[in-house]
Amino acid sequence: MLPHHKTRRPAADPTSKYIKYGMAAMILLACIKFLFFFDPIPLEDMLPYQNKTMYKFTTKYGAFVMELFPNQAPKTVAHFEKLVESGYYAENAGFYRAAPGFVVQAGGFVHDKPSPYGAIDVEYNLPSKERMVVLARANDPASGSTEFAIMLADNSVVNAPNADSPGYTAFGRIHAGYPIVVTIANEMSEGYLAKKNKDQAVKFDSIEQITDLVPTTPDLRAVSDAIHDALATRYSVVMFGKTTCPYCKKAKKILKDIKAEVHVVELDLLAPAVASQYQDMLEALTGRRTVPNILLNGKSIGGGDDVEELHATKKLEPMVHKIGALAKSVVLDSIAKHPLVAFTKSYDPYSKDVKKLFKSLGAKPLIIEIDTRDDGDAIMYNLQKLTGRRTTPNIFVSGKTIGGCDDTKALHETGELTLLLQQAGAL
Q: 222, 38, 217: which is closest to 129 by C-alpha?
A: 222
**pLDDT greater than 80 at residue 409:** yes
What is the reported pTM? 0.85
Reading phi first (left if > 0) and then psi (alpha if -120 to 50, else beta), residue 198 is in alpha
Task: Report whether 65 contacts 213 (CB < 8 A).
Answer: no
Crossing angle (nearest 10°) for helices 304-312 and 246-257:
30
Identify the structural domains of the chain with CATH numbers, from first to last: 49-215 (2.40.100.10), 218-322 (3.40.30.10), 327-424 (3.40.30.10)
How confident is residue 41, by pLDDT bands cut at 50, 70 and 90?
A: very low
Query: Residue 44's pLDDT is what?
Result: 47
Sign of CA dihedral 73, 151, 325, 345: positive
Average pLDDT over residues 63-71: 98
Q: 203, 189, 173: which is closest to 113 by C-alpha?
A: 203
Q: For 177-206, how does the pLDDT look when each residue is reduced to its tens digit (9 = 90+)?
A: 999 999 999 999 999 999 999 999 999 999
d(CA 100, CA 304): 39
* Mean pLDDT estimate for the chain: 92
**pLDDT greater than 80 at residue 38:** no
**pLDDT greater than 50 at residue 281:** yes
Question: Within a 10 A sphere around the Cβ of 248, how many other Cβ atoms?
Answer: 24
Query: Residue 31's pLDDT is what?
Result: 54
Query: Residue 167's pLDDT is what?
Result: 97
Residues above pLDDT 90, as percent of the chain: 88
Asked, as a colleague might, if the bond just before 292 is cis with ω within 30 of 0, I would say yes
Give me the phi and psi of 63, to 5 degrees please: -115, 150
d(CA 180, CA 64): 7
Reading phi first (left if > 0) and then psi (alpha if -120 to 50, else beta), residue 18 is in alpha
Report CA-CA distances (Å) from 262 to 89, 252, 266, 387: 34, 8, 12, 21
DSSP letters spanning 309-373: HHHHTT-HHHHHHHTTTTHHHHHHHHHHH-SEEEEE-TT-HHHHHHHHHHHHHT--PEEEEGGGS
Q: For 96-141, how does the pLDDT look when each residue is reduced to its tens digit (9 = 90+)?
A: 999 999 999 999 999 999 999 999 999 999 999 999 999 999 999 9
d(CA 288, CA 105): 37
Higher-pLDDT residue of 173, 4: 173
Q: For 309-361, how does the pLDDT look when each residue is reduced to its tens digit (9 = 90+)?
A: 999 999 999 999 999 999 999 999 999 999 999 999 999 999 999 999 999 99
DSSP letters spanning 135-156: E---SSTT-B-S-EEEESS--H
How confident is residue 48, by pLDDT bands cut at 50, 70 and 90?
A: confident
Q: 319, 314, 278, 325: which is closest to 301 by C-alpha?
A: 319
Q: Which of 31-45, 120-134, 146-160, 251-265 is predicted least confidently?
A: 31-45
Q: For 157-183, how does the pLDDT look when each residue is reduced to its tens digit (9 = 90+)?
A: 999 999 999 999 999 999 999 999 999
| Residue 207 CB contacts under 8 Å (≥ 6 apart), including other chains | 55, 56, 57, 58, 84, 89, 90
Q: For 291-316, how does the pLDDT look when each residue is reduced to its tens digit (9 = 90+)?
A: 999 999 999 999 999 999 999 999 99
Average pLDDT over residues 254-282: 97
Task: Report whether 190 contacts 242 (CB < 8 A).
Answer: no
Query: Residue 29's pLDDT is what?
Result: 55
Task: Report whether 122 contacts 166 (CB < 8 A).
Answer: yes
Sign of CA dihedral 414, 417, 420, 423: negative
